[in-house]
């Protein structure tokens, strides 16, 4: 019989009762080091006192009023994001996929209102992941995810990542913009080359195309900069954010230059829940922490420390791990055995991780992890690798 909770996920048989920092505790008292962080979402750790207090206080005052009224918490959050980025204006919604949908709408509408209604196509990249709505499934382009859901939404073309020739060849008179993750997450933690991003920016300017970054996973400090594109020194025209922005509270955002944002006039786009007082209070609390002086430097330092430990692990266990890649605390370890087996072995050692494509184990801990958390994680991965080796020797003929 089908479970009451629709079976859209293969869930581990673990139910957590509470968390603290980078640790999660089950009802039966077991504790797990959480390097999954709600899939790169619990950016400031579990039960972060500042976030908890802010949410509790806001919930006790007013949670939701709709966008028919001013929302001071949203105004403040938008102003802070504008201040910290390339953007002139921000739209709030509830998830990454919803932010990407709105981003594509904004790009198309700006082209149309600038006299180019024929420019409706968006160039995306092989291996992309932009979410599960009908539109974003088509932007993602992965046939497995599209199976059984009817015709693809029109208007999305795909080219290989980091290939300027292929990209230039794909531009037509109908192209409106280019959308990509600065580091592809779901397909295996694959960074776009810095030079590719710089040439992409030049190409977009040359052809009058809008450059749209999906920073749903890479944004809000995950890579050690507030947004990952800062590493390449390349600014987009529009960008999506979600995941880490609310620290576990659902919120998404579209950040855009005025040239694009000014066309999203009343009635052109909307959401009931998006940008409500509670979600924006939560995101403001997250920004209090992430924008505090020295916080992002600390993330970079922690990431470098963890990288060193992981490189040692790979050197000692080449039969289990073949490569480390990523940026900041968005880390991929390519596995030799099936990534699912490595993930299970890590879980048995009390370490939670996420799998990604290309047989990659994804490590996306809270940005607030300590050096001791990093040592514990490396130690647990080492024990997992030893357990895999022992099991392999046992089953060898
Ligand atoms: N874009 C990227 C890069 C993502 O990693 C994800 C989720 O993993 C999404 C979009 C979709 O976000 P959501 O699941 O919040 O709709």
Name the helix (H) or strand (E) containing 349.
none
Instruction: Calculate how far, in angstroms, residue 217's C-alpha sits from the geometric centre of ligand 1.
Output: 7
Tokens of 60: 């006790």
Distance CA 259, CA 277 (A): 27
CB 218 within 8 A of CB 227: yes
- From residue 104, how far is each of 78, 222, 256, 359 by CA, in Å? 20, 23, 11, 30
Task: Give me ligand 1 centre to Cα 269, in Å.
Answer: 20
Task: Please enumerate in sequence order all residues whose Cβ is within 8 A of that of 274, keeping only pairs 6 or more positions apart, or say none.
Answer: 67, 91, 92, 93, 94, 98, 251, 252
Q: What is the mean pLDDT of residues 186-194?
A: 97
Ligand 1 neighbours, Cβ below 6 Å, are 39, 95-97, 100, 129-131, 181, 185-186, 214, 216-217, 242
- Cα(155) to centroid(ligand 1), Å: 20
- Phi, then psi, of 322 in degrees rounded to 5: -110, -20
Write the pLDDT tens digit of every residue in 281-304.
999 999 999 999 999 999 999 999
Q: Ligand 1 centre from 115 Cα, in Å?
A: 31
Q: For a ligand 1 pocket test, name from 190, 243, 357, 360 the mutation site with the most ligand atoms within 8 angstroms of its C-beta.
A: 243
Query: Residue 34: left (phi > 0), alpha (psi -120 to 50), or beta?
Result: beta
Read off the pLDDT of residues 342-366 as tens digits, 9 standing for 90 and up.
Answer: 999 999 999 999 999 999 999 999 9
Upper half-sphere CA count for residue 83 (Cβ side, 13 Å): 8
Q: Whose CA is nearest to atom 13 of ligand 1?
A: 96
Work out the average pLDDT over 199-214: 98
Q: Whose CA is nearest to atom 7 of ligand 1?
A: 131
Over the chain, what is the mean pLDDT?
A: 97
100 with 216: CB under 8 angstroms?
A: yes
β-bridge pairing 252-256 and 238-241:
antiparallel
What phi and psi, each to the nearest 5 degrees, are found at residue 172?
-130, 180
| Strand-by-strand arrangement of the 175-180 sheet | 89-93, 252-256, 238-241, 210-214, 175-180, 121-125, 156-159
Tell me: pLDDT of 248 over 90. Answer: yes
Using CA positions, which residue lies closest to atom 5 of ligand 1? 217
pLDDT at 83: 98
Give the confidence band of 214 by pLDDT, cuts at 50, 70, 90: very high
Residue 37 CA, ligand 1 centroid: distance in Å: 14
Q: Does residue 37 surpass a pLDDT of 90? A: yes
> Mutate which of 36, 39, 217 to test ligand 1's pocket (most atoms within 8 Å of Cβ)?
217
Instruction: Provide the whole-model pTM.
Output: 0.98
């Amino acid at each position: 019989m089908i479970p009451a909770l629709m079976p859209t996920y293969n869930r581990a048989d673990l139910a957590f009762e509470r968390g603290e920092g980078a640790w999660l505790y089950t009802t039966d008292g077991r504790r797990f080091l959480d390097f999954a962080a709600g899939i790169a979402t619990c950016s400031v750790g579990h039960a972060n006192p500042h976030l908890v207090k802010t949410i509790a206080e806001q919930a006790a005052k007013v949670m939701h009023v709709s966008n028919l009224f001013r929302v001071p918490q949203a105004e403040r959050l938008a102003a802070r994001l504008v201040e910290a980025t390339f953007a002139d204006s921000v739209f709030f919604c509830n998830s990454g996929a919803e932010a990407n949908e709105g981003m594509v709408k904004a790009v198309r509408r700006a082209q149309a209102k600038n006299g180019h209604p024929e420019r409706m196509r968006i160039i995306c990249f092989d291996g992309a992941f932009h979410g599960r709505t009908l539109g974003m499934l088509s932007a993602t382009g992965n046939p497995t995810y599209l199976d059984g859901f009817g015709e693809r939404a029109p208007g999305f073309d795909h080219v290989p990542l980091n290939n300027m020739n292929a990209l230039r060849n794909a531009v037509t008179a109908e192209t409106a913009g280019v959308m990509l993750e600065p580091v592809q997450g779901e397909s295996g933690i694959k960074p776009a080359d810095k030079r590719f991003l710089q040439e992409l920016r030049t190409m977009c300017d040359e052809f009058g195309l809008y450059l749209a970054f999906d920073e749903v996973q890479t944004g809000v400090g995950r890579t050690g900069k507030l947004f990952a594109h800062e590493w390449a020194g390349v600014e987009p025209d529009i960008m999506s954010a979600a995941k880490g922005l609310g620290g576990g509270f659902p919120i998404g955002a579209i950040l855009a230059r005025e040239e694009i944002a000014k066309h999203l006039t009343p009635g052109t786009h909307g959401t009931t829940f998006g940008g409500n007082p509670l979600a924006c209070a939560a995101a403001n609390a997250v920004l209090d922490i992430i924008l505090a002086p020295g916080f992002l430097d600390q993330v970079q330092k922690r990431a470098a420390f963890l990288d060193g430990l992981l490189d040692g692990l790979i050197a000692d266990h080449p039969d289990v791990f073949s490569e480390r890649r990523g940026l900041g605390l968005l880390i991929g370890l390519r596995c030799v055995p099936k990534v699912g087996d490595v993930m299970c072995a890590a879980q048995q050692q009390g370490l939670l991780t996420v799998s990604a494509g290309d047989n990659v184990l994804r490590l996306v801990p809270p940005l607030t992890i300590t050096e001791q958390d990093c040592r514990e994680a490396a130690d647990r991965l080492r024990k997992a690798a030893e357990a895999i080796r022992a099991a392999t020797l046992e089953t060898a003929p």
